[in-house]
Amino acid sequence: MKQVFNPFLPLDEYIPDGEPHVFGDRVYLFGSHDRAGGKSFCINDYVCWSAPVDDLKSWRYEGVIYRRGQDPLNADCSHALFAPDVCRGPDGRYYLYYALDFVSVISVAVCDTPAGEYKFYGHVHFKDGHVLSSREGEPYAFDPAVLSEGENVYLYMGYCPYPPRHLMEVPKTYTNAWVYKLAPDMLTIEGDGKAIAPSFSNSAGTGFEGCEFFEASSIRKAGDRYYFIWSTYYNHDLCYATSLSPEGPFEFGGRIISNGDIGFGGITDENDCNNYIGNNHGSIEEIGGKWYVFWHRHTNGTSFSRQGCAEEIKILPDGSIPQVEMTSCGLNGGPLEASGTYPAAIACVLKSGMGTCRGDIPHGGAHPYITQDGEDGEEGATVYISNLKDGAMCGFKYFKGECNGRIEVTVRGSADGSLIVTDGTRNVAEIALSPSEEWMAFSAPVAANGDKFALYFKYAGGGCFDFLSFELNG
């Protein structure tokens, strides 16, 4: 049976800041493009992936859609392409909105098809011709999101680091997320911008306290409500606010997901949550009659190699979205089969014996991390969990069915100990490991079954090891 995991793209692909959009009978994923083991954000050019709306297990690579050197402000390619968004304009063409890292200008490219080769179109500006954010006191231009409804087009953006820091010669405003109405030409601002979500500096009494806007603007409409989505100062989560108008006012709703499961199941500690946390950026989309949240996780022990993941969500009749947990099955439509071979890199729980942490992980230290052998983009790269030591744990949620035969793990390293496998309530297997420089399989009897159960692998022993995959045999 064909299945799909989290992350749902190939394990050696790094697409963060995901903006999924349904155009016709396919969903297209737009986002930034990180590099395996990268030293900074969004080094690669924009690419696109798509899938049929009725088969989210079959993602297709659409190729490079825009190169950073195409923007006249970046002819020398010295700037990176940060988080983009795409919409279909009133003229039927597709418009790509983006910002070059910290240039503080919203650029636009255009294409006749969702995933073709976009061409530079212009920079968002006011009617007098001056470019948005080029004058003192204007909001910092960052992380654009765009909504097109007939002849009405709305641009959302903002950047509110705390404390504010001036990254440009011209002082900016770092106090809110903003919305601007655009003319049908998709470039010209009509009227004045409106503040729609507060930052730390002005949130008192707004209902946004503790979840103030930082970055990662996104916008969607569900029913008669508009959903503004962003990442907070804590950065690991995606929160939302709702309004009956695209220009607000917006009322705070809650958290949709955290890339450490903070806020779900009673987890509150950044240093002992379900995974290593860092920035988050994504959105929601209705696909085939169901709603999903797209977000990203961190790999390679850095903040600069992020991968897209997704989970189904529920929008309740009152418009609220309950927070969902990270899983390994994501877009699969339910738990994975309790038989077959699974890559260890789809772990949705990963921590050391000391817990977790935020940001970069020193290689060779206490913490495990997902990484790959082979250069970025190299065909056949091997992706695995590295540096598992005594007390480390990786978890996979969820499975269904009966597995009462054997479980086999493929590992390498200096480990001399045991992998204790549990379903969260009881031990279901214990696998003895011994040192091996090459990938080697070790197995043991297993007894796990149910309509929905997790598998957690916890190591006890000396040395450390890399974890490539596991096989369940009923």
Quick: pLDDT tens for 437-457: 999 999 999 999 999 999 999
Give the torsion through C-alpha atoms of 372, 377, 381, 387, to 10 deg. Answer: 0
Residues near 29 by beta carbon (within 8 Å), at least 6 away in sequence: 9, 15, 18, 19, 20, 48, 49, 50, 59, 294, 308
- Confidence (pLDDT) at 198: 97
Q: Which of 448, 324, 338, 470 lies closest to 399, judged by CA?
A: 338
- Confidence (pLDDT) at 171: 78
User: How many other CB atoms are there within 10 angstroms of residue 333's CB atom?
Assistant: 13
pLDDT tier, 162 (very low <50, low <70, confident <90, very high otherwise)? confident
Q: What is the homologous superfamily of the domain 19-332 according to CATH?
A: Glycosyl hydrolase domain; family 43 (2.115.10.20)
- pLDDT tops 80 at residue 335: yes
Residue 332 has φ and ψ, to the nearest 5°, of -70, -15
**CATH node for 337-473:** 2.60.120.260
Per-residue pLDDT of 307-332, as tens digits, reads: 999 999 999 999 999 999 999 999 99
**Dist. CA 2–CA 414, nearest whole Å:** 35
- Confidence (pLDDT) at 125: 98
45 is annotated as an active-site residue: no
Q: Are 312 and 326 in contact (CB under 8 A)?
A: no
Catalytic residue among 19, 34, 215, 285: 215
pLDDT tier, 1 (very low <50, low <70, confident <90, very high otherwise)? confident
117 is annotated as an active-site residue: no
Summary mean pLDDT of the chain: 96
- pLDDT tops 90 at residue 166: no
Catalytic residue among 17, 71, 237, 285: 17
- Boundaries of every domain in the chain: 19-332, 337-473
114-141 mean pLDDT: 96
**Dist. CA 441–CA 408, nearest whole Å:** 6
Per-residue pLDDT of 172-199, as tens digits, reads: 889 999 999 999 999 999 999 999 999 9
Per-residue pLDDT of 264-278, as tens digits, reads: 999 999 999 999 999
